[in-house]
Amino acid sequence: MNIEDIHALISDDMDSVNLCIQTRLNSEIVLINQIGFHIVNSGGKRLRPVLHLLACKALSYSGQQHIDIAAILEFIHTATLLHDDVVDASEMRRGEDTANALWGNEASVLVGDFLYSRAFQMMVEVGDMRIMEILAEATNTIAEGEVQQLLNINDPDTSEENYLQVIRSKTAKLFQSATQIAAIVCGKDAQTEKTLADYGMHLGTAFQLVDDVLDYSSSSEEIGKNIGDDLAEGKPTLPLIYSMRQGTPEQAQTIRTAIEQGGRENTEAVMAAIEATKAIDYTAKTAKDEADKAITALAGIPDSEYKDALISLAEFSVNRTY
């Protein structure tokens, strides 16, 4: 099942989610509308809403609450993107100028705050304390992950486990919430909730690991951002951590210096070290292991085309080029 087939399965629900997003994004403040619509409509995969909708359908849900929750997930994710781009001083996302590049850091941060608060308004309207608990915890965990990532910048001694913990917090946590909440919406037992939570966590981890691979092995046009941004920002991602561990003392020192100093001056030497140590292969295999765990976690979910779609998304997460 390819990505178009997956979207076709939930096309009506996604139309409803997009309408909900457009409606709830609206504000009397013109700048909020401009920035909000810019980033929400800039070609994102809507992956977290898609995961929630598919998980609900896999559990035979027939209500409408999942539409609002899918929109909430997208608002939280979009808020994190606005803040991320300011922290990282990014100028390109999804092949477009970032909001901070167009409107400035101050406006981007404040509109990100608006999206967070709008998401929490909508959570209250959903009226389920357990769902609010999961989303509130996820939002807090994401913030912790962002702070830990900030502490790791320019630190070449960041361990693989520390790095993996950052991406589980920063990226995978909202994937986990998207699928876990589906079990609650559908009134399922604790085991089903854990099953879908495990699936989301492993999928989200795989997804971020592949992003790390693409930062060193793709093109700007394919991934919609500048290649080597992570290195330029001094971020010690897994390809760099593995290369330092497996490379020669000279290669390790080259990467250490690049992480400590940031910038793009040592990109060619760093890329040579990554290639020599097969760090991309290692990172890709780590991602595939996580995707396989995600698929295994679904064993207890009844067979259906929606379960097949969840499996296909795990496969897509490690085979994608963007």
Domain span including residue 63: 3-319
Residue 247 is given by DSSP the state: S
Residue 217 main-chain phi, psi, to 5 deg? -140, 5
Residue 109 pLDDT: 92
Which residues, 6 or more positions from 288, have their beta carbon under 8 angstroms from its beta carbon? Answer: 206, 318
Q: How far apart are CA 169 and CA 181, in angstroms?
A: 17
Angle between helices 249-261 and 267-276 (to 10 degrees): 140
Which domain CATH number covers 63?
1.10.600.10
Residue 220 pLDDT: 47
CA 114 to chain centroid = 20
Which residues, 6 or more positions from 160, have their beta carbon under 8 angstroms from its beta carbon? Answer: 238, 241, 242, 245
Return the SS3 of 97: strand
Structurally, the chain folds into a number of domains equal to: 1
Instruction: Tell if the pTM clears 0.75, that is, is over it.
Output: yes
Q: Which regions in the chain score pLDDT beneath 70?
A: 43, 94, 218-227
Residue 94 pLDDT: 64
